[in-house]
Amino acid sequence: MSRLQPRQQGFALLTVLLIVALVALLAGQLVYKQHLNLQRSTFMLHQSQSLAVAWGLEGWVKQGLLEDAKQNQNDHLGELWAQPLIKVSFEGGEISGQLFDLQARINLNNVLESDESKRRQWQQLIERWRETAGLVNPVADALTDWVDVDEEPLMQGAESDVYLLKQPPYRTANQPLVVLNELKKIQGFEALEAVQWQFVQETATALPTVTPINVNTADKVVLMTLATWMNERVAQAWVLQRQQSPAENIETFKLFLAQQTGKTQAEVDADLPDSLLGVSSRYFLLLGEIAFGESQQRVAALFERTAQERVNLVQRWLSAAQAE
């Protein structure tokens, strides 16, 4: 018995140590899970609070656009809505954002214009834009085939029979573009380089209705697509002019072009019909960023300001919130 007692005591000691190790392991796992749950709950709380601030930002933008419409009938870059909201701190976080006029860009859905003559003018404008973007092959017909409801291809277009041969196969949308990313599926846009895609994002848009280009907000590159004779000199001259005196109506802009180019008013009117141009806008894009606690939320929202003095939220995109 005396020989077995030390062995039994050693075995008992190992058992106790094993039990202690298991208890410590389980306790550690419980503490770790509790920490994760607490962290997750904190993050979800901060995320919901950041979203609440984002909805407040949207409401503020709506009110601002309505007030702007009451003050004047044109939109230009000198107005309050066009100024960026620099980072503003509030309890627990900070907010920033900026509003962009989407009618300063070329609406690619304008190829759905029901009037054949006007539709042809938009297609020609898009081809001039395509050349500026550095795309080799024509794209207007392919774009039109993508959004129109029929399956009859235009001369330089492509319908579903072309896309069904790709891997993986797909069909034309047969409806207006919803987001610009759809372009990457369309013939002529499939091999966009990074620089070209950035150009597309900065100068084009996809709006739900046919919209003119606001000459008070469009940048120089977009202005140069309006006509073959709209060179960089003329476009830059208008950009400088509108800083001091934005156009109150389309006629003011056309008169300026006639003076700059030496063309007659009739020639300017023939190349730039009123359907292409505007001095006010309906569609605006909000890009906002809200940081609250451990959550950072980015929001993009498309607004439509209607003639009935209403501002409607058309689309909203939220980034996946991430912990800092």
- pLDDT at position 163 over 70: yes
User: Which domains are present in the chain?
Assistant: 13-103+282-323 (3.30.1300.30), 105-278 (1.10.40.60)
Predicted pLDDT at 3: 56
List Cβ neighbours of 206 (8 Å cut-off, separation of 6 or more): 107, 108, 109, 176, 177, 178, 179, 180, 182
Q: What pTM was estimated for this model as a whole? A: 0.85
7 vs 27 pLDDT, higher one: 27
**DSSP3 helix / strand / coil % (the chain, rounded to 5):** 50, 15, 35
Is there a contact between 231 and 138 (Cβ–Cβ < 8 Å)? no
pLDDT confidence band for 321 (50 / 70 / 90): very low
- pLDDT at position 253 over 60: yes
What does each C-alpha distance from 221 to 135, 183, 216, 242 come to in angstroms?
15, 20, 13, 15
- pLDDT at position 60 over 60: yes
Is there a contact between 172 and 160 (Cβ–Cβ < 8 Å)? yes
Query: pLDDT of 45-58, one tens digit each?
Result: 777 888 888 888 99
Query: pLDDT of 186-219, one tens digit each?
Result: 999 988 999 999 999 999 999 999 999 999 999 9
Q: In the structure encoding, which two tokens stand for residue 191, read together?
A: 């091999």
Q: How far apart are CA 234 and CA 236, in angstroms?
A: 6
What φ, ψ does residue 297 adopt, rounded to 5°?
A: -115, 130
